[in-house]
Chains A and B, each alone.
Chain A
Amino acid sequence: MAPKKKSPKGRKKMRGKKSPTPILPVSEEVEPINMESMGHPEIYPLVLTTKTQEIFNCRIDEDVTDEHPYKLIPKEDIFEDMRNRAAVSDFHPVKKIIQEYPGDELLLVYDKDFRYGLNFYLIGTEEGKENYFNPSEVPEEQEENKEHIPEDVYMYKLPVSKPWVSLGSEKEIEEESVKDSTKQITYMISRKRSEFGAPIKFSDQNASSVKDGYIECTSYPDKIFTLKQLEKDVSMQVVPQIRDISTQTRWTYPKNATTQYYPREFSEEEKTALNQSKSLADFLNNVSMSVEIALQQNEIMNTFIDDWKNLAEEEGTFGDKTDTHLKEYQSFTDLHSPTEKMITCISWHPTIYGLIAVSVAVRLSFEDRVHFSGKLLLQPSLILFWSFSDPIHPQLMLESPDDIFCFQFCPSDPNIIAGGCINGQIILWDITAHADRIENIKTGDSRSKKPTLKPMFLLEPDSNKEAMYIRHCAVSSIENGHKNVITDIHWLSDTFEINRMGSVFENRSGICCQLATCSADCTICFWDIRQQKVATPQPTEKKKEESIEIPFDVPSTFMHLDLSWKPLIKVRLSKGETSLDHCPTKMSLNQDHLLYKSQDKMLAQNKAAKAGETSPYHNLEGGMIDHLRPIDDFCTKFFMGTEEGEVIYTDWKLERDPETGRYTSKKPVSLYAVHDGAVHTIQRSPFYNDIILTVGGWNVAIWKEGVVTGPLLQSCCAPKRYTSGHWSLTRPGVFYIGREDGYIDIWDLLEKTHEPAQSQNICITMITYIKPQTFSSKQQFIAVADYYGTLHILEIPWTLSHPSTNEVSSVNHYFEREVKHLEYVLQRKMIREKEKKEMELEMEKKKVKTYQKSKEQMEAEMRMDYESYLELERSVLINLGLIKVTEMLSYMDMM
């Protein structure tokens, strides 16, 4: 209805005004699309509907077929069609081309394959037409050449038009095509001319205000579409109720607070008052009983002792024999020496792990020495330093003028070594310059894996191959020193020093500066390595004359001593008026064992470190003992073993001889002839200062200092001679003895005291020296030197190195028992003597008594004797058969 209304309006407007041109599809002059892009500018694709096809007689499959796909259409027909059907004509898009076409007939080709996009195409030029008819397949040579090879000439057949056969495609097209179902409504809205350009006033109008202004489609519930829900899937979840709450606390920061208080105490008066009070007395009466019971309970027995625990430990030491053998760890031999050598002395380096020094001497008797003395002069006598890491090459070699028989590291500075020679000289070495060389040695691990890796690769390559020969620093004076082989050398402790009289003073310098030596010329000498203040003019002159030139590599530490070193004290061990003196082989001073305890190792190191870079030995000064007072109660006595097998306890202090007025050495305090051969070991126990072990000849003896009756323990003669001995460093009751057949006897005083607990073979020849050393609680080694010059290092098993808890006290008890036993023996001896005397007295008395018998008694007795004799005679004769029994009767009658 609306359009109706509007149309009159529109018409009105139309009438009134000049109606604008009807809105029609404007035909624009559009360039027809040609196939220029495909290389054929003359081809214009066309769509020809069926009606057009009927008009022009180019119906598909009738007029225009595959063989005859073209049709020549005169231009006039096309123009007529265009006039008839105007824009609807299919040729409309190419109208321009047709108008411009020069010729009369246009070629229309059926494009069956839709090569150009539409079902027909028009050739727009004459040339194109020509090309088509003639080799128009030129552009498609490639494809059609193959097809047309068998056919040389293509016979052109004109297309024959056939009648259209409908195959039902029109219906489909009809269905598919969209056609307007109703005519489109057109509206024409016009305005009065005068109102052109004037603003338009639009207004709103509610559609419902006008009757029938709108058609309403009200919604209504359609029952068809309602569904009744018969089933419902419901799920539930339980959720805890959560509440978030937060609070703010007051932050307290830490504050330092201190309080000071003193305890409440009673004043003296109050205390006395309370003490007097009766309440206290009553209280004590009540309470003291229970307290005393408790105290006595504790005295009776300790109820908290775990007996099982105590038992278990004891069994561990005595019963466990699984691993008690010394295990071979390493052995060292010097392969470069031309003559056969034996080892005379061993010393472990006090601070460096795995470094051990041995002194070697030629294995010749005195006669042979004299015989070969020329040859021996050429060979250097050495002290070799062996390290665990290199069993073939010694690390250092210290040279000396003659064979060394004993040597020692200085306890306060391990770079100073003192040794005693066979000719009676003392040799001093200073290896401070080479200290870093031996400290860099790696031990243990590198040994087995890389035997070729030398430990000193850090240093210059030329020193790599051969060990350094280090010349000695100083030797003692030949005239003033010992005349015979030095058998033992000791450094005196750094806590005291002695002067010429033998009095002891406090050692202010803090280092070991004095030595004690004993030699086979029956003397003991004390030496001081510091320069003596007293300098007589003679020695200096001598020095100037000689002007000794010292080789460049020898340190000048002891230059002042070289060749002019005299002993401080010379103690002569005389046996009295006889010319034969005691010949000491070894000695044991009071403070010896303290020097080797591991704690003092640290002390020594600390001292050396404190002294700074330069060792105190480089700046030695004379003793300051002039200003000090001597220590009076110092024990200056010491033990000494001699070549005859005696153990001597003597004093080194010189006393004034009343007769001659000179200072002479004292007589020995006590002398014991216990051993059958030379005493080669005298050693104090590392645990007890007054227990001494002496080994010599075929037996062992243990002594206690102060007990003069005799040794605590003296073993019986062993089958083989004992040649060396040493206490164990960790177990108080254990010591090691080396024999002349290469066996080591291990004695355990808590196990057996009459024979060694164990015996183990080490080598085939005589053992010359034993020296154990502890490196840690798990590793303890013992170095054994034999007569053929081989040094064996053995590892001490756990059982032999680890003491049980109360071993120290047990061994102590044992020694005390032995002391008591000795005393008891002495007492018994005295008692026996007394008894003997008494018995003798009684015998005497008896004899006197018998003499006083009376005469009659004597006669009666004599008669009785005579009669008994006669009877005896008769019985004998009867037995012999000389007298008959009957005769005997008559004889009896006669009587």
Chain B
Amino acid sequence: MAEVEETLKRIQSHKGVIGTMVVNAEGIPIRTTLDNSTTVQYAGLLHQLTMKTKSTVRDIDPQNDLTFLRIRSKKHEIMVAPDKEYLLIVIQNPCE
């Protein structure tokens, strides 16, 4: 649908964004702007990490839930937005 395209395009056009991908609940990529091998690697690793984070948050407080995950590394920042069925992963290079 056009909305989907437009949203993803908007996100991708932000300054410093290296790649965007949408992953389903099992870690299988649905949509991506990067090449296949990188996508598969990111999807697998971040899916597991998100699961772990979610369970950690809920273990501490069962009423709580994970809304956003940001990983800042030396080279860039990985942002993960989880949901019930899907996962949106954005990689951005914040340094000018």
Point out residues on A near B: beta carbons under 8 Å.
Answer: 263-266, 271, 274-276, 279-281, 283-288, 290-292, 294-296, 298-299, 302, 304
Contacts of B27 on A, CB cut-off 8 Å?
Answer: 264
Q: Is B40 a contact partner of A295 (Cβ separation < 8 A)? A: no
Contacts of B70 on A, CB cut-off 8 Å?
Answer: 294
| Segment 41-96 of B: residues with Cβ below 8 Å from A | 43-44, 67-68, 70, 72, 77, 79, 81, 83, 85-86, 88, 90, 92, 94-96
Q: Is A286 a contact partner of B83 (Cβ separation < 8 A)? A: yes
In the complex, which of the residues B16, B44, B86 has the most CB atoms of chain A within 10 Å of its own CB atom? B86
- 6 additional contacts, CB 8 Å, given A290-B68, A294-B90? A279-B85, A279-B86, A281-B3, A294-B70, A295-B90, A302-B96
Task: Tell whether A285 pairs with B17 under 8 Å between CB atoms, given A291-B90, A302-B94, A304-B72.
Answer: no
Q: How far is the CA of A290 from the CA of B11 in the complex (A)?
A: 11
Q: Is B4 a contact partner of A281 (Cβ separation < 8 A)? A: yes
Q: Is B81 a contact partner of A290 (Cβ separation < 8 A)? A: yes
Task: Tell whether A271 pairs with B31 under 8 Å between CB atoms, given A287-B88, A304-B72.
Answer: yes
Contacts of B4 on A, CB cut-off 8 Å?
Answer: 275, 280-281, 284
Q: Is A266 a contact partner of B28 (Cβ separation < 8 A)? A: yes
Task: Tell whether A275 pairs with B77 under 8 Å between CB atoms, given A281-B1, A283-B88, A295-B11.
Answer: no
Q: Is A295 a contact partner of B26 (Cβ separation < 8 A)? A: no
Q: Choose one: A280, A290, A292, A296; the contact of B22 (CB below 8 Å).
A: A280
Q: Is A284 a contact partner of B16 (Cβ separation < 8 A)? A: no
The interface bits of chain B over 1-42 (1 if a CB of A lies within 8 angstroms of the residue's CB, else 0) are: 101100110110011110000101011111100000000100
Q: Is B94 a contact partner of A299 (Cβ separation < 8 A)? A: yes
Q: How far is the CA of A714 from the CA of B29 in the complex (A)?
A: 60
Q: How far is the CA of A604 from the CA of B68 in the complex (A)?
A: 55
Q: How far is the CA of A304 from the CA of B83 in the complex (A)?
A: 28
Q: How far is the CA of A291 from the CA of B3 in the complex (A)?
A: 16
Tell me the smallest distance from the CB of B70 to a CB of chain A, in Å: 6
A-B interface, 9 closest residue pairs, ranked by CB to CB distance from nearest = A298-B94, A287-B81, A263-B40, A295-B14, A283-B86, A284-B7, A283-B83, A288-B7, A264-B28
Q: Is A292 a contact partner of B14 (Cβ separation < 8 A)? A: yes
Q: How far is the CA of A294 from the CA of B96 in the complex (A)?
A: 16
Q: How far is the CA of A264 from the CA of B24 in the complex (A)?
A: 11
Contacts of A285 on B, CB cut-off 8 Å?
Answer: 3, 7
Contacts of A299 on B, CB cut-off 8 Å?
Answer: 14-16, 94
Contacts of B85 on A, CB cut-off 8 Å?
Answer: 279, 283
Task: Tell whether A292 pairs with B11 under 8 Å between CB atoms, given A265-B40, A266-B30, A281-B4.
Answer: yes
Contacts of A281 on B, CB cut-off 8 Å?
Answer: 1, 3-4
Q: How far is the CA of A304 from the CA of B74 in the complex (A)?
A: 10
Q: Is A274 a contact partner of B30 (Cβ separation < 8 A)? A: yes
Q: Is B88 a contact partner of A284 (Cβ separation < 8 A)? A: yes
**8 CB-based A-B contacts, threshold 8 Å:** A264-B26, A266-B29, A280-B30, A281-B3, A283-B83, A291-B90, A292-B11, A299-B15
Task: Tell whether A298 pairs with B92 under 8 Å between CB atoms, given A274-B30, A280-B22.
Answer: yes
Contacts of B16 on A, CB cut-off 8 Å?
Answer: 295, 298-299
Tell me the smallest distance from the CB of B66 to a CB of chain A, in Å: 12
Q: Is B79 a contact partner of A291 (Cβ separation < 8 A)? A: yes
Contacts of B79 on A, CB cut-off 8 Å?
Answer: 291, 294-295
In the complex, which of the residues A265, A284, A299 has the most CB atoms of chain B within 10 Å of its own CB atom? A284
Contacts of B90 on A, CB cut-off 8 Å?
Answer: 291, 294-295
Task: Tell whether A284 pairs with B8 under 8 Å between CB atoms, given A264-B28, A279-B85, A295-B17.
Answer: yes
A298: nearest chain-B partner, CB-CB: B94
Q: How far is the CA of A281 from the CA of B86 in the complex (A)?
A: 11
Q: Choose one: A271, A279, A291; the contact of B81 (CB below 8 Å).
A: A291
Point out residues on B near A: beta carbons under 8 Å.
Answer: 1, 3-4, 7-8, 10-11, 14-17, 22, 24, 26-31, 40, 43-44, 67-68, 70, 72, 77, 79, 81, 83, 85-86, 88, 90, 92, 94-96
Contacts of B7 on A, CB cut-off 8 Å?
Answer: 284-285, 288
Tell me the smallest distance from the CB of B47 to a CB of chain A, in Å: 11
Tell me the smallest distance from the CB of A497 to a CB of chain B, in Å: 42
Task: Tell whether A265 pairs with B3 under 8 Å between CB atoms, given A283-B86, A298-B94.
Answer: no
Task: Tell whether A280 pairs with B44 under 8 Å between CB atoms, given A288-B7, A295-B14, A299-B94.
Answer: no
Contacts of A291 on B, CB cut-off 8 Å?
Answer: 11, 79, 81, 88, 90
Tell me the smallest distance from the CB of A209 to a CB of chain B, in Å: 100
Q: How far is the CA of A298 from the CA of B26 in the complex (A)?
A: 29
Q: Is A302 a contact partner of B30 (Cβ separation < 8 A)? A: no
Contacts of B92 on A, CB cut-off 8 Å?
Answer: 295, 298
Task: Tell whether A275 pairs with B83 under 8 Å between CB atoms, given A295-B90, A298-B77, A299-B15.
Answer: no
A262: nearest chain-B partner, CB-CB: B40
In the complex, which of the residues B16, B30, B79, B83 has the most CB atoms of chain A within 10 Å of its own CB atom? B30
Q: Is B67 a contact partner of A284 (Cβ separation < 8 A)? A: no
Q: Is A302 a contact partner of B31 (Cβ separation < 8 A)? A: no
A276: nearest chain-B partner, CB-CB: B1
Contacts of A266 on B, CB cut-off 8 Å?
Answer: 28-30
Tell me the smallest distance from the CB of B10 to a CB of chain A, in Å: 8
Q: Is B40 a contact partner of A287 (Cβ separation < 8 A)? A: no
Q: Choose one: A274, A296, A304; the contact of B24 (CB below 8 Å).
A: A274
Q: How far is the CA of A570 from the CA of B79 in the complex (A)?
A: 65
Q: How far is the CA of A279 from the CA of B92 in the complex (A)?
A: 26
Tell me the smallest distance from the CB of A310 to a CB of chain B, in Å: 13
Tell me the smallest distance from the CB of B51 to a CB of chain A, in Å: 16
Q: How far is the CA of A285 from the CA of B7 in the complex (A)?
A: 8
Q: How far is the CA of A393 from the CA of B83 in the complex (A)?
A: 82
Q: How far is the CA of A111 from the CA of B34 in the complex (A)?
A: 135
B88: nearest chain-A partner, CB-CB: A287
Q: How far is the CA of A154 from the CA of B83 in the complex (A)?
A: 148
Tell me the smallest distance from the CB of B73 to a CB of chain A, in Å: 10
Q: Is A288 a contact partner of B11 (Cβ separation < 8 A)? A: yes
Q: Is A290 a contact partner of B67 (Cβ separation < 8 A)? A: yes
Q: How far is the CA of A412 from the CA of B27 in the complex (A)?
A: 56
Contacts of A283 on B, CB cut-off 8 Å?
Answer: 83, 85-86, 88
Contacts of A265 on B, CB cut-off 8 Å?
Answer: 28-29, 40
Tell me the smallest distance from the CB of B94 to a CB of chain A, in Å: 4
Q: Is A275 a contact partner of B30 (Cβ separation < 8 A)? A: yes
Contacts of A263 on B, CB cut-off 8 Å?
Answer: 28, 40, 43-44
Contacts of B96 on A, CB cut-off 8 Å?
Answer: 302
Tell me the smallest distance from the CB of A273 to a CB of chain B, in Å: 10
In the complex, which of the residues A275, A276, A280, A291 has the most CB atoms of chain B within 10 Å of its own CB atom? A291
A293: nearest chain-B partner, CB-CB: B68
Q: How far is the CA of A298 from the CA of B83 in the complex (A)?
A: 23
Q: Is A302 a contact partner of B3 (Cβ separation < 8 A)? A: no
Q: How far is the CA of A377 from the CA of B93 in the complex (A)?
A: 71
Contacts of A286 on B, CB cut-off 8 Å?
Answer: 83
Contacts of A288 on B, CB cut-off 8 Å?
Answer: 7, 10-11, 88
Tell me the smallest distance from the CB of A537 to a CB of chain B, in Å: 66
Contacts of A287 on B, CB cut-off 8 Å?
Answer: 81, 83, 88
Q: How far is the CA of A299 from the CA of B13 in the complex (A)?
A: 12
Q: How far is the CA of A290 from the CA of B81 in the complex (A)?
A: 8
Q: How far is the CA of A279 from the CA of B85 in the complex (A)?
A: 8
Q: How far is the CA of A19 from the CA of B30 in the complex (A)?
A: 140
Tell me the smallest distance from the CB of A565 to a CB of chain B, in Å: 56
Contacts of B68 on A, CB cut-off 8 Å?
Answer: 290, 294
Contacts of A304 on B, CB cut-off 8 Å?
Answer: 72
Contacts of B83 on A, CB cut-off 8 Å?
Answer: 283, 286-287
A289: nearest chain-B partner, CB-CB: B81
A288: nearest chain-B partner, CB-CB: B7
B72: nearest chain-A partner, CB-CB: A304
B77: nearest chain-A partner, CB-CB: A298
Task: Tell whether A284 pairs with B94 under 8 Å between CB atoms, given A291-B11, A291-B88.
Answer: no
Q: How far is the CA of A388 from the CA of B74 in the complex (A)?
A: 45
